[in-house]
Chains A and B, each alone.
Chain A
Amino acid sequence: MAAVSAVVRKDLRLEARAFESVPAMLMFSVTTFVLFHFGLDRGALAGDLAAGVLWVTLLLAAVLGMNRLFATEHEQGGFDGFLLAPVDRTALFVAKATVLFAFLVAAELIAVPAFALLLLEPGAGQALPELVAVLALADAGIAVVGTLVGALGVQTRARELMIPLLALPLLIPVIIGAAEATAPLFAAAGAEPLPGRWLAVLALYDAVFALLAYAVFDFLLED
Chain B
Amino acid sequence: MAAATADSPDAVALEGVGRAYGERVALRDVTFTLPAGATVAVFGANGAGKTTLLRILAMLLRPHAGVARVLGAALPREAWKARGQVGLLGHEPLLYRDLTARENLRYHARLHRVAPRRGDDLLERVGLAARADDPVRTLSRGMAQRAAICRTVLHDPSLLLLDEPLANLDPGGAAAVAPLIGRGSGHARVLISHDVEQGLAEADWVLGLRAGRQALWAPGDQVSAADVRGLYA
Interface residues of A (CB under 8 A from B): 2-3, 5-6, 9-10, 13-14, 17-18, 72, 76-78, 80-87, 222-223
Determine if A14 and B99 form an interchain contact, defined as CB atoms under 8 angstroms apart: yes
Contacts of A223 in B (CB 8 A): 60-62
Q: Which 10 A-B pairs have the closest CB atoms?
A: A86-B84, A6-B110, A85-B111, A77-B94, A81-B94, A77-B92, A17-B98, A10-B107, A223-B61, A86-B83
A residues in contact with B96, CB < 8 Å:
10, 14, 72, 76, 78
In the complex, B10 has a CB within 8 A of chain A: no
Partner of A83, one of B59, B93, B103, B107: B59
CB-nearest residue of chain B to A222: B62
Residues A84 and B88 in contact, CB atoms below 8 Å apart = yes
Can you list 17 contacts pairing A with B, beta carbon distance less than 8 Å?
A2-B110, A5-B110, A9-B107, A10-B96, A10-B107, A18-B98, A72-B96, A76-B97, A84-B58, A84-B83, A85-B83, A85-B108, A86-B83, A86-B84, A86-B85, A223-B60, A223-B62
Of B61, B97, B110, B113, most A-chain CB atoms within 10 Å: B110
User: Which residues of the partner chain A approach B86 to less than 8 Å between Cβ atoms?
Assistant: 84
A22 to chain B, nearest CB (A): 15
Q: How far is the CB of B49 from chain A (nearest CB, A)?
A: 15
> Which of chain B's residues have a CB closer than 8 A to the CB of A78?
94, 96
- In the complex, which residues of chain A have a beta carbon less than 8 angstroms from the beta carbon of B98? 14, 17-18
Name B103's closest neighbour in chain A (CB-CB). Answer: A13
* Given pairs A3-B111, A84-B84, 8 additional interface contacts (CB within 8 A): A6-B110, A14-B98, A17-B135, A78-B94, A81-B94, A85-B84, A87-B111, A223-B60
| In the complex, chain B residues 109-150 whose Cβ is within 8 Å of any chain A Cβ | 110-113, 135
B80 contact set on A, CB distance < 8 A:
86
A77 touches B61 (CB 8 A): no
The answer to whether A13 and B113 touch across the interface, beta carbons within 8 angstroms, is no
Q: CA separation between A13 and B84, bound complex, in Å?
A: 25
Is B95 in contact with A76, judged by CB distance below 8 angstroms? yes
B112 and A85 contacting across the interface, CB-CB below 8 Å: yes
Decide: B83 and A80 in contact? CB cutoff 8 A: no
Binding site for A on B (CB under 8 A): 58-62, 80, 83-88, 90, 92-99, 103, 107-108, 110-113, 135, 151
- In the complex, the chain B residue whose C-beta lies closest to that of A81 is B94
Q: B156 CB to closest chain A CB, in angstroms?
A: 13
**Chief secondary structure at chain B's binding surface:** loop
Q: Which residue of B lies closest to A78 (CB)?
A: B96
Query: Complex formed: what's the CA distance from A121 to B34 in Å?
Result: 74
Q: How far is the CA of A26 from the CA of B135 in the complex (A)?
A: 26
Q: Which residues of B contact A80 (CB under 8 A)?
A: 58, 60, 88, 90, 92, 94
Query: A72–B94 Cα gap in the complex (Å)?
Result: 11
Q: Which residue of B lies closest to A5 (CB)?
A: B110
Docked CA distance A223–B58 (Å): 12
Residues of chain A lying within 8 A (CB to CB) of residue B151: 81
| A-side contacts of B97, CB under 8 Å | 76
The residues of B that contact A81 with a CB separation of less than 8 Å are: 94, 108, 111, 151
Contacts of B58 in A (CB 8 A): 80, 84
Q: Report A-chain residues with C-beta under 8 Å of the C-beta of B83.
A: 83-86
Chain A residues near B84: list those with CB within 8 A. Answer: 84-86
In contact, A3 and B94 (Cβ under 8 angstroms): no
Residue of A2, A77, A87 near B93 (CB, 8 A) is: A77
- Residues in B neighbouring A85, C-beta threshold 8 A: 83-84, 108, 111-112
A128 vs B92: C-alpha distance in the bound complex, in angstroms? 48
A184 to B131, CA, bound (A): 57
The residue on B at minimum CB distance from A2 is: B110
CA distance A149 to B135 in the complex (A): 30
Closest to A73 in B: B96
Once the chains are docked, how many angstroms separate the CA of A222 from the CA of B61?
8
Chain A residues with Cβ under 8 A from B110's Cβ?
A: 2-3, 5-6
Identify which of A2, A81, A82 gathers the most chain B CB atoms within 10 Å of its CB.
Answer: A81
**C-alpha gap A223/B87 in the complex (Å):** 19
Instruction: Name the distance in Å between B187's Cβ and chain A's nearest Cβ.
Output: 15
For the complex, what is the distance from the CA of A13 to the CA of B33, rounded to whole Å?
Answer: 43
Q: Are A83 and B60 in contact (CB under 8 A)?
A: yes
Distance, CA A17 to CA B99, complexed state (A): 8
Q: How far is the CB of A64 from chain B (nearest CB, A)?
A: 19
